[in-house]
Amino acid sequence: MSEPAVPVAAPLAEAFLPGESVLADWVILLKPRVLTLVVFTGLIGMLVAPGHLHPVLALAAILSITVAAGAAGAINMWYDRDIDAVMRRTRSRPVPAGRIAADEALAFGVTLAAASVIVMGLATNLVAAALLALSIGFYVFVYTVWLKRRTPQNIVIGGAAGAFPPLIGWAAATGSVSAVPLVLFAIIFFWTPPHFWTLALFANADYQRAGVPMLPVVAGGRETRRQIMLYTLVLVPLSLAPWAMGFSGPVYGLAALALGGAFLWHALRVLRDRQDAAGTSLTGDAPAKAAFRYSILYLFVLFGALAVDRLVG
């Protein structure tokens, strides 16, 4: 890989000596904010599965999912260091800021990825280990390398990588994959576009500067708002599927209904946001920001309700 093409990060890089990273930099490399949702959905997949897993093995499985997601994030930061240096949101990350050398970040990510798959295989079963390896490969090769810089469908198809954790958690507990974890996979898959496109709406300038073809950059704000609504319209009925399939009870069903209703309300606010002819928000993208925050809460509470329903109901 060539060095970052854009010199924006150069003044930052000069402020550090090689190897001057601190522990926090290596933690940042794992994208800890993304990890929480990944770990949570993986844990729920494991908890609601019919099988039983010894607590130590369950802990090892969750650790593997965590480390694998972090490893994929580190490899992503290595690959994206040139565009990270240009975007305000990401330019202080350890690699573009020069606190961690690019090669070190790559080695760190690859080592952790391999270790996580091995531990998952030893602690649980080959199905879970294979799914874990597939999720890492999907995030790195399909999303990061192939799609992210090429198509506005990057986070639609690439979103599958983030939908793997409940499938892996389920497989860790049962050694197989059935319809229910596939529905959980689908829920996260259809949740991802509204989640990322609301972010892309208010971070549009950043993505434009970096040349990342997010939907608002390529198709404009108006079309993005329409797509957010369409995906939300698919997501809400889909979120009721575990209830309709008889896998969960009314606790989950009612929670999914209420949460889905609120999500639709947010999507509608985004759709009807005051905008100019070019689709640029005249409200500072306030509805998109609110919808983005709500989407995170939505997934946490939805999966939490599923666990409560299964474990208490």
Partner 1 sequence: MSMAEPAPPARPTTQPPEAPIAATGKPIEMLSRADSQRLEQRRRGRNWAILAVLAGVIVLFYAITIVKMHR
Least gap, CB of 129 to partner 1 (angstroms): 13
Based on CB atoms, which residue is closest to partner 1, 122 or 245? 122
Which residue number, 66 or 192, has a Cβ lying nearer to partner 1?
A: 66
Report how far residue 104's alpha carbon sits from residue 74's, in angstroms, rounded to the nearest whole number: 10
Residue (29 or 199) nearer to partner 1, CB: 29
Which of 19, 246 has the CB closer to partner 1? Answer: 19
Q: Which CB sits closer to partner 1, 69 or 123? A: 123
Cβ 55 to partner 1 shortest distance, Å: 9
Q: How far is the CB of 58 from partner 1 (least distance, A)?
A: 10
Give start and end residues of each alpha helix (H) in the chain. Answer: 10-14, 23-28, 32-48, 55-79, 81-84, 102-123, 126-137, 154-157, 159-174, 179-202, 204-210, 215-239, 241-244, 250-271, 286-312
Say what angle helices 179-202 and 250-271 make with each other, to 10 degrees: 30
Smallest distance, partner 1 to C-beta of residue 167, A: 22
Distance CA 88, CA 142 (A): 25
Give the footprint of partner 1 on this chain (CB under 8 A). 14-17, 19-23, 26, 54, 56-57, 60, 63, 115, 119, 122-123
Specify the residue, 53 or 267, whose C-beta has the smaller distance to partner 1.
53
Categorise residue 273: left if φ over 0, alpha if ψ from -120 to 50, beta otherwise: beta
C-beta separation of 139 from 72 below 8 A? yes
Q: How far is the CB of 136 from partner 1 (least distance, A)?
A: 19
Least distance in angstroms from the C-beta of 159 to partner 1: 31
Query: Which residues pair with residue 34 across a beta bridge?
Result: none
Nearer to partner 1, 57 or 290 (CB): 57
CB of 175 to partner 1, least distance (A): 13
Q: Which phi and psi angles does 275 have, rounded to 5°? A: -145, 155
Of residues 218, 194, 189, 193, the one with CA closest to residue 204:
218
Residue 54 or 88: which CB sits closer to partner 1? 54
- Rounded to 5°, the CA angle 116-121-123 comes to 90
* Residue 93 three-state SS: coil
Q: How far is the CB of 16 from partner 1 (least distance, A)?
A: 8
CA distances for 70 relative to 101, 113, 153, 227, 296, angstroms: 17, 8, 23, 29, 19
